[in-house]
């Protein structure tokens, strides 16, 4: 899952010379500019008193951490989510630095954004009333250290060509912001700032930009996928490693249409027995019998079981304790599959669709997208066609990406790395994921691509199917 938070304040502060190269623009403010920049320029002015000049610019930025706290407290974002600072390159006609690092540091004092716009002549001064600059952090209050006071070790991002976007893991910084949030300072690395060399101008879009997806973003990422093996339940086999003989089952407790904790269980444990015939003795499991299930989230419980059986159907009974005769909460049905070895490789080709497709979603909704899949070339007989639709295939490893149709701008890229933020969940009905439309610009059409992991090539293979929909808000 990906959740985005946008900057609430940003500014560029500098000690660069104003036009005429006589006065430094240390009092200038550009808090309302739609561009942010950082640079270091060496040797533009030389004098017998001050020597050869060094000019610097740094970026100040602050995010809505109160909203992050609220989402964490309400369970919208888990405590183990990772947070990334994302800033987007703004093209310009000036000289780009190459082969350099940017440092992101935690600011140690509060500051004001200000009302200035000028990033050329540095003529928009704060006049000791409102806003931050190189010397002052707010109005007439000075920084403890000119150029912005910081604390802690920097987090570094590297740039080779110079026009790359910034994407850097700042989870540790966000953890500190949860108690005290003064934002971040971004600069050319200190080792380069102090060199007798110029690293010119790196520009990013600021929070005031009209380019919706170029705003500075704090992005929370975490793996929210649920892998319910009820539709892909395998009996234990010597063909599979021990870990792959485990099957995870889920129980969703809906009361009047809402997920609700079982009152007698709360966030405690449930116990699960498997039966080949109801009313007879429970089957012996590979681990504990009964299996111990645990709390996942509000109204959702899960357990992992493995069983060596030749039965083709099993019944899972969820109950309050491991004592015989305890309260039973649910009985489900499981179709059991057997592991099979092949003498050939079988790379699948699939036909995909979205079973609950809609043409429009309102911005701010979180909607569940369900993927239906069958093998390409499926050839049913007349009876099958008349009586049934084949069950959806279930993919253990599948991912999605989302892009804007009008310009092919990728808004949510595939995340198949350590975060697995775009991994699809699955259950007995197939694969699915939850889409938060609050991050999407309204009144545009978007497309979703799907990639399925191919074990033969050890790669995710993007499928030809695209799910298209429009996000609307106050559209007439």
How far is residue 6's CA from residue 32's CA, in Å, rounded to a whole number? 15
Q: Which residue, 373, 365, 360, is CA-closest to 424?
A: 373
> How many other C-beta atoms lie within 10 A of the C-beta of residue 116?
24
Give the model's pLDDT for residue 391: 84
**Per-residue buried b or exposed e for 122-141, using 16+ beta carbons within 10 Å of the residue's own CB:** bebbbeeeebbbbebbbeee
Q: Residue 311 pairs with which residues in a beta bridge?
A: none
CB 268 within 8 A of CB 303: no
Q: For residue 143, is pLDDT > 70?
A: yes
How far is residue 89's CA from residue 92's CA, in Å, rounded to a whole number? 9
How far is residue 220's CA from residue 75's CA, in Å, rounded to a whole number? 13
The residue with greater pLDDT, 411 or 45, is 411
Residue with tokens 């893991």, as numbered in its chain: 169
User: In the chain, what are the domain boundaries?
Assistant: 2-221, 229-337, 350-472
pLDDT band at 200 (very low <50, low <70, confident <90, very high): confident
Give the model's pLDDT for residue 382: 58
DSSP, res 193: H
Give the model's pLDDT for residue 49: 55
How far is residue 224's CA from residue 220's CA, in Å, rounded to a whole number? 12
Give the model's pLDDT for residue 380: 66
pLDDT band at 19 (very low <50, low <70, confident <90, very high): confident
Q: Tell me which CATH code domain 229-337 carries.
A: 2.60.40.10
**Cβ burial, residue 99 (10 Å; 0-12/13-18/19+):** exposed
pLDDT band at 388 (very low <50, low <70, confident <90, very high): low
Cα torsion 190, 113, 109, 157 to 10°: value is -30
Class at the top of the CATH hierarchy for domain 350-472: mainly beta
CB 414 within 8 A of CB 451: yes
> How is residue 97 written in tokens?
């630095």
How far is residue 370's CA from residue 389's CA, in Å, rounded to a whole number? 16
Q: For residue 362, is pLDDT > 90?
A: yes
pLDDT band at 344 (very low <50, low <70, confident <90, very high): confident
Q: What pLDDT digit, counting tens, does each position of 156-184 carry?
A: 999 999 999 999 999 999 999 999 999 99
Give the model's pLDDT for residue 385: 54
Q: What pLDDT digit, counting tens, does each position of 230-279 carry?
A: 999 999 999 988 889 999 999 999 999 999 999 999 999 999 999 999 98
Model's pTM, two decimal places? Answer: 0.90
Q: For residue 421, is pLDDT > 60?
A: yes
Q: Which residue, 31, 39, 29, 28, is CA-closest to 10?
A: 31
Residues in the chain: 476
Residue with tokens 């990013």, as numbered in its chain: 204
How much is the mean pLDDT over the chain? 92
Instruction: Tell me whether the CATH fold assigned to 229-337 matches the one assigned to 350-472.
Output: yes
Q: What pLDDT digit, counting tens, does each position of 107-131 carry?
A: 999 999 999 999 988 989 987 888 9
pLDDT band at 475 (very low <50, low <70, confident <90, very high): low
């Amino acid at each position: 899952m990906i959740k985005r938070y946008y900057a609430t304040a940003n500014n560029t502060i500098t000690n660069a010379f104003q036009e005429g190269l006589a006065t430094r623009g240390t009092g200038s403010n550009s808090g309302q500019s739609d561009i942010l920049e950082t640079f270091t320029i060496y040797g533009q002015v030389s004098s017998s008193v001050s020597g050869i000049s060094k000019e610097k610019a740094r970026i100040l930025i602050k995010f809505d951490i109160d909203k992050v706290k609220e989402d964490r407290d309400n369970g919208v974002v888990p405590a183990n989510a990772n947070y990334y600072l994302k800033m987007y390159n703004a093209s310009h006609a000036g000289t780009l630095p190459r082969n350099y690092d940017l440092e992101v540091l935690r600011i140690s004092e509060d500051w004001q954004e200000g009302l200035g716009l000028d990033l050329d002549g540095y003529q928009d001064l704060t006049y000791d009333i409102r806003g931050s600059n190189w010397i002052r952090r707010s109005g007439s209050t000075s920084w403890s250290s000119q150029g912005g006071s910081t604390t802690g070790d920097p987090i570094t991002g590297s740039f080779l060509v110079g026009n790359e976007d910034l994407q850097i893991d700042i989870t540790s910084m966000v953890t500190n912001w949860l108690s005290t949030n003064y934002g971040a300072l971004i600069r050319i690395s200190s080792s380069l700032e102090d060199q007798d060399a110029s690293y010119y101008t790196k520009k990013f879009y600021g929070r005031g930009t009209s380019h919706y997806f170029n705003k500075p973003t704090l992005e929370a990422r975490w793996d929210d996928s649920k892998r319910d093996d009820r539709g892909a339940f395998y009996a234990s086999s010597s063909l599979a490693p021990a870990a792959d003989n485990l099957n995870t089952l889920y129980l969703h407790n809906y009361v009047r249409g809402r997920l609700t904790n079982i009152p007698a269980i709360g966030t405690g444990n449930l116990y699960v027995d498997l039966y080949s015939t109801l009313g007879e003795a429970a089957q012996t499991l590979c681990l504990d019998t009964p299996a111990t299930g645990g709390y996942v989230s509000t109204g959702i419980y899960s357990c992992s079981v493995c069983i060596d059986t030749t039965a083709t159907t099993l019944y899972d009974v969820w109950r309050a304790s491991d004592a015989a005769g305890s309260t039973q909460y649910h009985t489900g049905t499981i179709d059991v599959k057997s592991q099979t070895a092949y003498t050939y490789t079988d790379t699948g080709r699939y036909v995909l669709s979205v079973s609950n497709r809609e043409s429009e979603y309102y911005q701010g909704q979180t909607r569940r997208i369900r993927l239906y899949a069958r093998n390409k070339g499926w050839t049913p007989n007349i009876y099958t066609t008349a009586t049934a639709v084949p069950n959806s295939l279930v993919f253990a490893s599948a991912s999605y990406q989302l892009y804007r149709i009008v310009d092919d701008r990728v808004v949510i890229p595939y995340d198949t790395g350590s975060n697995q933020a775009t991994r699809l969940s699955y259950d007995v009905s197939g694969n699915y994921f939850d889409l938060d439309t609050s991050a999407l610009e309204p009144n545009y059409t978007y497309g979703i691509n799907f990639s399925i992991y191919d074990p033969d090539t050890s790669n995710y293979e993007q499928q030809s199917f695209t799910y298209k929909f429009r996000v609307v808000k106050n559209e007439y």
